[in-house]
A and B are shown apart, each in its own frame.
Chain A
């Protein structure tokens, strides 16, 4: 415990250094805005703005992106309440009660509640993060390539077991991400692989950013253009913020739901496949079950706004835990952050704590500060955001397209990558329309090179004996969990069929 306090204190101080603090404030505001815009969420913001990392040192860049991630979680609630459409998928559950509250003329109450709940959920999760991260990193120091590989398999298995998407399509998405990561020069044998049509642009491989911006920039814009038809419908919302104090005092009513959401969100956020959206939905469901008055949910109960908002913020911090300590991202957004860290020359994983303590603790410290800063900005800027939200999508879309093109070009200075990005965006959009999940592919292209290296190192070390993964207790444990997760959907189907048979025989 004492060992945590001192570095944490230094980290918080570091977050107040002018450059870091400036980036933090910028990140919070950008995040609030991005989260609030329908069609843009944290993952889109981080993917499109990652090239900012070239401008400032890695610490400041990471603080900026983490603050953006955080801000986007707050921001998602704004459009859920005022427009009735979630600003990001993570804020879906906020619509259930936020919308009725807004229709009843209590949008200000809903927004204040969302902000305060986000703050509490965020704070709970940051404290949990601070307590869990160092011991987990210590533990993970014992991992060899065998455990690393087994852990990656476990991460992918969570998508199949818990992702809730069509299973063959999920598997396809994971595998194509891994295959795309193999394009280029093989690091171990030095052989060029998958140089399609002998185009030399493939020699430097396919950078994860090309796929990430393609899918979350171009593809997402196409998706939003189609679903909104280029317009955003403005709904009637009244928001008077004179009653801020009165609204804040109602915290008693939703404190329990908020704390529940915070803990739940944190632990669900750690899982790579789950993350903020299911965490928010589960928090909503559980709060409703435990509530004394479950019927009032969906009709404007403020606890129904507080629980999911607290959970999605907590999940965003939770998903950073495996990224920092194990090098495995807990969400698509952290997958992109992880890729960014690799570009900046940091190797995410257990060694980060011992090799780059300053970076890690500044990041953790900045999370505490970002939480406070976002709360303040959120409460004071809501009237502005509500107005900006009515901006027609045809203004935002071309600006984002142009930013995507520039962002795709800058890392490698080739237009080849930009064409590829456009292709990925379009194909990703079509696949998404057919219910292929796209997040596993982005996670896989980031983890691909690490997974392959771990696999080949282990196999070389074991003279080609694949049983090595089962002989080492830890990796055997991870593989066992992965197998259970892979079998879980089959178990669900089996149970459902049996229930159906039973019902049929009784009926």
Chain B
């Protein structure tokens, strides 16, 4: 698809969407003046969507006149490699949310990070493992521990498993009750932080070498 085709397609789709919004506010809400009550709930959205529709018509008009750069461009809307990168990323994000519904966000983001770092990015296992394990753990400690905000745990069986495994006892069971778990958490976080520092440190050290390499390539 060329930029030109996408431009007109998008303008038409947006114009149709505006029409739907206009119809919805006209049909379901009152767009006029209600005596003694003031303007109806549909007035503001109705005129806004009318404006949206008109601006789309304007864009379509300009497309036929060839006024905008997009309406004259016959370049590809997306290159093949960009299309691949973006569609894989979008699918991965959809999968992230889909898995969240079933197994909960922690497992979902663990899998997502592994996929993205290892498969997409081609990074080493040490970095992959540390980030994909570390991020869920930190987010759990931060949101559920510090903020007392629960994140989605998925369907009932996954949530039950989460409780059975004692993750909540870690936060609510009291330090005496779960001393072991507390130490374990500190241990995991510590190891994780040190490893990440080491990985990034290595990488910072290699900076000069990489820079020289790039300099040669350039």
Residue ranges of A at the interface with B (Cβ–Cβ < 8 Å): 54-55, 166-169, 171-172, 175-176, 178-179, 182, 186, 188-189, 191, 193-194, 218, 221-222, 225-226, 229-230, 233-237, 384, 387-388, 390-392, 394-395, 397-399, 401-402, 405-406, 409-410, 413, 415, 418-419, 422, 426, 429-431, 433-435, 452, 455-456, 459-460, 464
Shortest Cβ distance from residue B207 to the other chain A in the assembled complex, whole angstroms:
5
B38 to A405, Cβ gap below 8 A? no
Quick one: CB contact mask for B22-43 with A, threshold 8 Å, 1 for yes?
0011001100010001111110
How far is B116's CA from A225's CA once the two chains are assembled, in angstroms? Answer: 12
How far is B120's CA from A456's CA once the two chains are assembled, in angstroms? Answer: 51
Shortest Cβ distance from residue A389 to the other chain B in the assembled complex, whole angstroms:
10
B93 to A218, Cβ gap below 8 A? yes
Q: List 20 A-B contacts (CB under 8 A).
A: A55-B146, A172-B59, A175-B51, A176-B52, A182-B45, A222-B86, A222-B89, A226-B78, A226-B86, A234-B210, A236-B218, A384-B204, A397-B89, A405-B93, A405-B97, A410-B143, A422-B97, A431-B10, A455-B39, A460-B38
How far is B135's CA from A290's CA once the two chains are assembled, in angstroms? Answer: 51
- Among B37, B93, B113, B210, chain A packs the most CB atoms within 10 A around the CB of B93
> What residues of chain B lie closer than 8 Å to A433, measured between beta carbons?
6, 77-78
Residue of B nearest to A236 (CB): B215
B68 at interface, CB cutoff 8 A: yes
> What residues of chain B lie closer than 8 Å to A55, measured between beta carbons?
146-147
Given A189-B41, A392-B121, A409-B152, A182:B10 Cβ within 8 A: no
How far is B14's CA from A430's CA once the two chains are assembled, in angstroms? Answer: 12
Quick one: CB contact mask for B43-85 with A, threshold 8 Å, 1 for yes?
0110011011001101100100000111000000110011001
A395 to B127, Cβ gap below 8 A? yes
B141 at interface, CB cutoff 8 A: no
How far is B113's CA from A394's CA once the two chains are assembled, in angstroms? Answer: 10
Q: Inter-chain contact count A-B, CB under 8 Å?
A: 188
How far is B213's CA from A506's CA once the two chains are assembled, in angstroms? Answer: 57
> What residues of chain B lie closer than 8 Å to A54, measured between beta carbons?
147, 149
B97 to A419, Cβ gap below 8 A? yes
Given A390-B207, A398-B113, A193:B52 Cβ within 8 A: no
B105 to A194, Cβ gap below 8 A? no
A413 to B112, Cβ gap below 8 A? no
B45 to A193, Cβ gap below 8 A? yes
Shortest Cβ distance from residue A152 to the other chain B in the assembled complex, whole angstroms:
12
Given A395-B123, A415-B100, A406:B7 Cβ within 8 A: no
B155 at interface, CB cutoff 8 A: no
How far is B200's CA from A226's CA once the two chains are assembled, in angstroms? Answer: 25
- Among B41, B112, B122, B123, chain A packs the most CB atoms within 10 A around the CB of B41
A434 to B81, Cβ gap below 8 A? no
Shortest Cβ distance from residue A422 to the other chain B in the assembled complex, whole angstroms:
6
Given A235-B218, A402-B135, A456-B38, A191:B56 Cβ within 8 A: no
How far is B44's CA from A455's CA once the two chains are assembled, in angstroms? Answer: 9
> What residues of chain A lie closer than 8 Å to B51, measured between beta carbons?
171, 175
B197 at interface, CB cutoff 8 A: no
Quick one: CB contact mask for B123-146 with A, threshold 8 Å, 1 for yes?
100010001000100010001001
B55 to A175, Cβ gap below 8 A? yes
Task: Please tell me which one of the listed residues B39, B121, B127, B135 contacts residue A464 in the complex, with CB atoms under 8 A apart.
Answer: B39
Given A169-B59, A236-B211, A434:B85 Cβ within 8 A: no
Top-4 shortest CB links A-B: A394-B121, A398-B116, A168-B58, A460-B38
Residue ranges of B at the interface with A (Cβ–Cβ < 8 Å): 3, 6-7, 10, 14, 21, 24-25, 28-29, 33, 37-42, 44-45, 48-49, 51-52, 55-56, 58-59, 62, 68-70, 77-78, 81-82, 85-86, 89-90, 93-94, 96-97, 100-101, 105, 109, 112-113, 116-117, 120-123, 127, 131, 135, 139, 143, 146-147, 149-152, 200, 203-204, 207, 210-211, 214-215, 218
A179 to B45, Cβ gap below 8 A? yes
How far is B28's CA from A187's CA once the two chains are assembled, in angstroms? Answer: 16
How far is B6's CA from A397's CA once the two chains are assembled, in angstroms? Answer: 27
> What residues of chain B lie closer than 8 Å to A388, measured between beta carbons?
200, 204
> What residues of chain B lie closer than 8 Å to A459, measured between beta carbons?
38-39
How far is B132's CA from A395's CA once the two chains are assembled, in angstroms? Answer: 11
Given A236-B215, A402-B135, A394:B93 Cβ within 8 A: no
Given A188-B41, A406-B143, A434-B3, A395:B131 Cβ within 8 A: yes
Q: SS class of chain B's interface: helix, strand, loop or mixed? A: helix
Shortest Cβ distance from residue A465 to the other chain B in the assembled complex, whole angstroms:
11
> What residues of chain B lie closer than 8 Å to A429, measured between beta carbons?
86
Given A166-B68, A194-B24, A459-B39, A452:B146 Cβ within 8 A: no
Task: Please tell me which one of the listed residues B52, B62, B69, B109 contacts residue A402 in the complex, with CB atoms under 8 A apart.
Answer: B109
How far is B45's CA from A188's CA once the two chains are assembled, in angstroms? Answer: 14
How far is B215's CA from A173's CA once the two chains are assembled, in angstroms? Answer: 43
How far is B42's CA from A55's CA once the two chains are assembled, in angstroms? Answer: 38
A230 to B121, Cβ gap below 8 A? yes
A234 to B94, Cβ gap below 8 A? no
A193 to B146, Cβ gap below 8 A? no
Shortest Cβ distance from residue B202 to the other chain A in the assembled complex, whole angstroms:
11
How far is B38's CA from A455's CA once the two chains are assembled, in angstroms? Answer: 11
Task: Please tell me which one of the listed residues A235, A397, A426 contacts residue B116 in the complex, with CB atoms under 8 A apart.
Answer: A397
Residue of B nearest to A436 (CB): B10
> What residues of chain B lie closer than 8 Å to A456, measured between beta carbons?
38-39, 44
A169 to B55, Cβ gap below 8 A? yes
How far is B42's CA from A71's CA once the two chains are assembled, in angstroms? Answer: 43
Given A431-B10, A435-B70, A460-B38, A405:B105 Cβ within 8 A: yes
Given A394-B123, A395-B117, A399-B131, A182:B44 Cβ within 8 A: yes
Please name 14 further chain A to chain B contacts, defined as beta carbons within 8 Å, in addition to the given A188-B38, A234-B210, sorted by A numbering: A166-B59, A179-B48, A182-B48, A189-B41, A191-B41, A222-B90, A225-B89, A387-B204, A399-B131, A402-B113, A410-B149, A431-B10, A435-B68, A460-B39
B55 to A406, Cβ gap below 8 A? no
> What residues of chain B lie closer than 8 Å to A172, measured between beta carbons?
14, 52, 55-56, 59
B135 to A399, Cβ gap below 8 A? yes
Task: Please tell me which one of the listed residues B3, B40, B49, B52 contacts residue A189 in the complex, with CB atoms under 8 A apart.
Answer: B40
